[in-house]
Amino acid sequence: MNYGKLLKAFKKKKVLVVGDLILDRYIWGKVTRISPEAPVPIVEVTDEIFNLGGASNVANNIISLGGQATIVGAAGGNDRGGEILRKMFEARGIRFDGVYWSTRPTTVKTRVIAHSQQVVRFDREDKNRVEGKALKSLLNYLRFEVQEHDAVIISDYKKGVISSELVREVLKITRPENIFVSVDPKVGRFHCYKNVSLITPNVHEASQASGIEIKDEKSLINAGRALLRKISCDAVLITRGEHGMSLFRKNNVVHIPTVAKNVYDVTGAGDTVIATFTLAYAAGASMEEAAVIANHAGGIVVGEVGTAVVTPEQLDKSLSANGGLKIREFPCK
């Protein structure tokens, strides 16, 4: 496939992202002394920035890649975090009429960084399950809007939005229309994702969900095949850090080596991978081609500090420098 033509096709695709909305707050500073009150560094603050995180970052990646994104989730309607999210959605061109603005606080992850190193992180959140009026509102929105999109991404950060009921409703709508549904999963919640098109666990999540400790290629393949059976999905994409990723389908596995040259920060890399894979597949790539493109995108964002996104120009440059869409398939024995 001509990946240049494929990247241009991203602009025509609409992706609905449903999940946990997170605001990433970064406090930057420098450390020159230790506190006299306790053995901790004193950070002299030099800057403060906000980035979209969680499902919000997935939508942001879709936009950055040239696609169109709709976000569905819940956030605080009366707090500073919710206000910042609104403004950022508007500025980025992310459609957010599917967001339920509630009394629960907006999830905010604050990272204090000095000399490019994270000193501490503190979170403000409510992880209780979204129920009642809020859940009803989200389900009603999905029933009317899912069919207007080319693909759906479920971004589960275990903050209360994603449930078995919500996933079943999404699948009830998408199956008749043959709409692709991918899931970025969380440990302990794999039972919620049955019959989706794709799940994208990392090695730790795949090990926990399959019950197989992944320590070599044989155990990796056994875990991938076990997840295919357990979730009854079309494909499993296991992200493997410095070892790249592996795509499992019914009769084959594709191992894709990493293209990352430097790894500074893995924050948000999973968001980039699932956003890129889903958009590429919706634009006409095969699953194997979509995995290769997503691998390049992941390699780009881990080379930057903080939550990052990828552009089509960056992808084009990375693919060109690494020989394009190289795919090696292995029989899944």
Which residue in this structure is represented by tokens 């070892």?
A: 243
Please enumerate in sequence order all residues whose Cβ is within 8 A of that of 289, keeping only pairs 6 or more positions apart, or say none. 1, 3, 6, 280, 325, 327
Q: Give the neighbor-by-neighbor strand order of the sheet with 117-124.
A: 41-54, 21-34, 107-114, 117-124
Q: How far apart are CA 210 and CA 222, in angstroms?
A: 9
Please enumerate in sequence order all residues whose Cβ is within 8 A of that of 106, keeping only pairs 6 or more positions apart, or say none. 21, 23, 75, 76, 79, 80, 81, 82, 85, 124
Catalytic: 271? yes
Catalytic residue among 24, 184, 271, 316: 271
Task: Please tell me whether residue 15 adopts helix, strand or coil conformation.
Answer: strand
Q: Are 24 and 48 in contact (CB under 8 A)?
A: no
Instruction: Say if strands 107-114 and 41-54 run parallel, antiparallel, or are unpaired.
Output: unpaired
So which residues are the catalytic ones?
A: 271
